[in-house]
Structure 1
Amino acid sequence: MIGHLLSGRYEIMNRVGGGGMALVYKARDILLNRFVAVKVLRQQFVHDDEFVRRFRREAQAAASLSHPNIVSIYDVGQEDDTHYIIMEYVDGANLNEIIRDRAPLQAAEAVRIASQICDALDHAHHSQIIHRDIKPHNILIGKNGRVKVTDFGIARAVTASTITQTGSVVGSVHYFSPEHAKGVATGEKSDIYSLGIVLYQMLTGRLPFLGESPISVALKHLQEPFEEPRLVNPHIPQSVENIILRAMRKNPQERYRSAQEMLADLETCLQPQRLNEPRAQFGEDADEGEQTRVIPAIRPNMGTSAGDTIIKKGSESERRDEPEPERRRRRWVMPTVFGLLAALLIGILLWAVFYLKGQLSPSDVQVPTVVGDTLEDARTKLEGVGLKVADPVLKEASSEVEENHVIRQSKQDMAVKEGSSVTLTVSTGPELPTMEALKGKMYNDAVDILKGLGLTTDVVKNEVFDESDPGTVLDQKPAAGETFDPAKDTVTLTVSKGLESFPMPNLISMTLAEVKAELAKYNLKLPDRNIFQEPSYTTKGKVFKQFPAEQNETVQAGTEVQIWISSGFPADAKQKSVPVTVSPVEGKSSTIKIVVTDALGDSHVVWGPKKISATTTIPVKVVLSPGQQGLIMVFRDDQYFDSIPVPYEDAPVIVDPPSSPDPTTTDDPNAGTDNGTNQDGGQ
């Protein structure tokens, strides 16, 4: 595929990835002059009509999704047996690579990534599209930090067409939802479960379920609890762990009702008031508050209840029937009683305030000096005299004070009230330099820059094959813009070794399709202008000449290759059918083999070995070139028996040269004879 112009528009540049169903290439859209990603269906699926139909339908459905966190699909098409999808090209890395290199991630970064994935899922779910294969490999993160979810649609096509194939496992079992593992219908909540596992892996650096086989992992999804994230990484806030616990509930009814609901939770989980919220509870204990309470029925004899009596006593008609003095007396009694009670309570409160003020007033304590102490020692000293360390502890770079030692304190050499707070400023060590951008520079120049930054440790050089000039820096760690300690940190540079060199493969006697497949393995190019058709005594349609010509000659990836393919026999070729009569040893069966030397090659077997028990005449066709004499040699029981010369002049001219013989096809000039694979003929 490399170098191929797909559908006359997409120039395939290099392979960037692939999975069980498809290969992904980086390509250039020559019409719009932009880079695109080309996903090509693997060859083992191209003849499955049902799969191809679903693949195209689902790809078109995914193309209807338009969201900043979903990889856009530009085109779907077919060229011969090649089915492809043209997608947005994301310049960056997938989440699996980031987890492998940097996990566990900070909670803020993991939540940011999960929020964008959740936003993409919410958009897809509203369009009735379920991803079914959410995993870090399908999450792309561009260099600008934008998260892109890919492989929408293809997952559904795979599920519909290959789930019943023996031994098939659709998606990655480590990210299966329990209902997916059981083989029942999956929906939006299955994507939510998989996203919960991705968030778990980002924050802990490990998967929740591992096993010796896919079956054992699937059973753990169904039956076993996972180790809670905060037990693996205690720095995870409780509010974030609660999101994982809810998203990964085995019962779909206990998960988030939608991706939108999970997104709302992610957007607020890092707010200060939520960081230390109670651990989420599930099951019967958590559901008691939501159970329906039964209200006792009202019995008929409750008509004269106390409430009914009160209503009657408070009725307007009864008040009108009371005597006037009685009404006046009641008018001032209750206010008087309430006034006396209020005055008494106020008095008691005033007494309590003054009494407790004298009893509870904190005593004065002397603030100890903790400058120069470690943060732990300073905290111990201050708390030992009844003072508190203000939160947060301030950080400041210092070349004079050791790391994690106190530079200054807000209160010093003075008396303060017990329980007061003291703000500490702690050293982070010397101010560290910022890593410069080394990508694209030559290795020696990059090392000089690092030494200029004060690097005292050795640079780790990781050499890889690449189309860049040898010695070019392709990647760096720490990344550009990050701070690093030149005295402690290790700097790793990924450096180009240039294009890979390898022995030239032998293409002789291959068909054009076989040549293209062979060259694709080595990333060698075969443009159409380098394919030549010429007459030859080689089998028609097969290569009889190549350049580079020497087998095992060293070449590099990207080298252009030339091939010459036989178009059939030359016009002056002659062909003659010679009857060859052979007899077995008298009274026995004999094994006969006929070998021909002619324009098709030296000493090639055209008949036998086969056993005969009687005299047999065998027609043998001989192809001759000008000035050449053919020779037919007969062997009986592996011993030379006879030879027949065939001069060029005695053979008739081939007016319409036929295709050269191919022992595996009916175009063989010796059709009807045995090519040596049958040892029982003639008996």
Structure 2
Amino acid sequence: MIGRQLGGRYEILERVGGGGMAIVYKGLDMLLHRHVAVKVLRQQYVHDEEFIQRFRREAQAAASLSHPNVVSIYDVGQEDDIHYIVMEYVEGTTLNDLIKARAPLQVEEAVHIASQICDALDHAHHNQIIHRDIKPHNILIGKNGRVKVTDFGIARAVTSSTITQTGSVVGSVHYFSPEHAKGTPTGEQSDLYSLGIVMYQMLTGRLPFLGESPISVALKHLQEDVEEPRKVNPLIPQSVENVILRAMRKSTSERYRSAVDMLADLDTCLLPQRRNEAKVSFVDDDELDEERTRVMPALRPGQYELERSAGADEPEDDDEEEATPRKNRWVKPLVLIIVMIGLLGGMWYAVGEVKKRVAIETVDVPNVVNKTLAQAHQELVNAKLEPVPEYVKDEKNSPKDTVIRQSPAMIKVNVGSKVILSVSQGPDKLKLPDLNKFKLSEARAQLKQLGIPDTNIVVDPKFMDVEPDTVVEQQPAALTEFLDPAAVMVKLTVSKGIETVKMPNLIGKTEKEAKNMILVSGLKLAKDGITQEASYKQSKGKVMDQFPFKPNDDVAPGSEISLIVSSGLPPEAGQMTVNVPIKPAKEGSPSTVKILLTDAVYDTPFEYQTLNDVTKTEMLQVKLTVSPDKEAVIQIKVDNKTADITTVNYKDYQDQKSGKPVTPGTGTPNIGTGTPPADGAKQPGEGAHPPANGAGGTQPPAGGGGANTTTTTSTGGRNS
């Protein structure tokens, strides 16, 4: 049945229990996506049409019940020769398992459970449904403590002949009412009798009647008085014992008349004023009446007179005549009595011998729950029983080959009887998911959900042409099965992306230097990757730009680089040499003079030259470059104070180049056309303070120096 679908809607997942008439499976309602319990009629009943009709009718009647303490019936159906009932699936345990684990229960807990059962029975009785099979096996206790009564309708569909069917009611005969055992019609009070036995078992931990066979137990229900619960468990209050004794009376007239009456008694039996009430008495008032009607033996005519005259005086002759007959008349009866005793003794002996030869030996079923299958098998074989193992899924994840349930249990059965063992399949094996193409964080999350600790996850990063932080390989492989998550080591190979190197800064380097740096970095110079352009910023033969990668970019090894190399100044560049007067702050006193230059080559002030120990006025030639949109500015600082600023624009350069005369004003620097400077003027590199590196200045770029027109602005009151 496992894996089969019933009605195109209910998928059978696993077996969860079984009885004499049906097997119960856990199923999935694929339409509503909820778990259900599916009860399937056993095969020996599927060809009994009368039984099937009663099964359907009673199941449909039970479906009309709607009560929080009754397991709901969802559906009734048939598929081929399978008759089934779909009902509510309760997560929890049975009262039978609870009694086995904890009996005797606390009085308050037992009364609370009994009250909920009684409430469910009241609802069923109100709807004209008699359960007829109240027992701990049919009482479910959910994880929230809610008590649910199940098997409504199924027990009612069983005929009275079921008592004699081996294996059908072995578990139920201990809870039969006397009228049920006799096969007479049962009613509401029969369910209350069974509930009384359930209370007795909860509070004492044992059944009130035990016997060697179902028939002997049924006879005890009819003939024997139950041992008082308080003798077994003195902790039971008298008021609670009274409830049990009244529910278990053999006469229906002495039991509770309805579930409502019993529920009312249960609701008050634990009140302080009732705990020590008097023991309930069931003696009729008529038995105490001296004038009640009695049954007496009838008197024969003349009997009284004979007895009265027996002591009167008679003639001596009569006594002598009757003496012999009176003595002899007892001999014959005595002989008859002796013969009868002998016959009875012989018959008793013969019956005993026959019993010994034809009686079926019975044995106690040992409890093998929580033992290994091998141990359970050996114990049952030693007890002359036949073990029948059935592997099932265990939600408690018991070890494999462990017995989790048995049927029957804790009763006497015939030698050779079968004992069904529900054996755990063991914990479900877990499978490693396929983590390839997942981000590392997502892969870690999936492994943690399986219980694998983070310390068991090893990450191996590697460069590859895959998006960074992506899992590309795993060990063990996907779908590998394991039992203990803490013992699994998982290795994940994760992409670091394409391997990169830092792009070197080639700007300002010579073409040869740039090529060497590209080669050392593992890069390539693109074919036709060098172009030349004129530049104000870089001198001829130096790199002025690189592409497509800028300095410090992350670049894949082997990437191709292109360079733009300076071909020198543009044709329109105006190179000029300007004579700039240099003088100390005070004649005769040494001063430090610093020349700062800004022109088409230098966008920011460039320290052209620094002269130390200047004691008199001198002329210094400054080479500069102007462009059509960039003028030159020469700033003179004496002892770190601005002393003079000279500005030269492109028009000055054009005027000079066209031969126009320039008449500088007083203090205006000389603008040469290739003629020597005035006396005292120094060319760079000629004077006492050449603009050499390390001498306070920086040499301007190569190629600077040409004829230009100069406009001078003088500070400190000098003329412009």
TM bucket, shorter chain: 0.3 to 0.5
Which has more radius of gyration?
A: 2
**TM-score with structure 2 setting the length:** 0.41
Instruction: Using structure 1 for the length normalisation, give the TM-score.
Output: 0.43
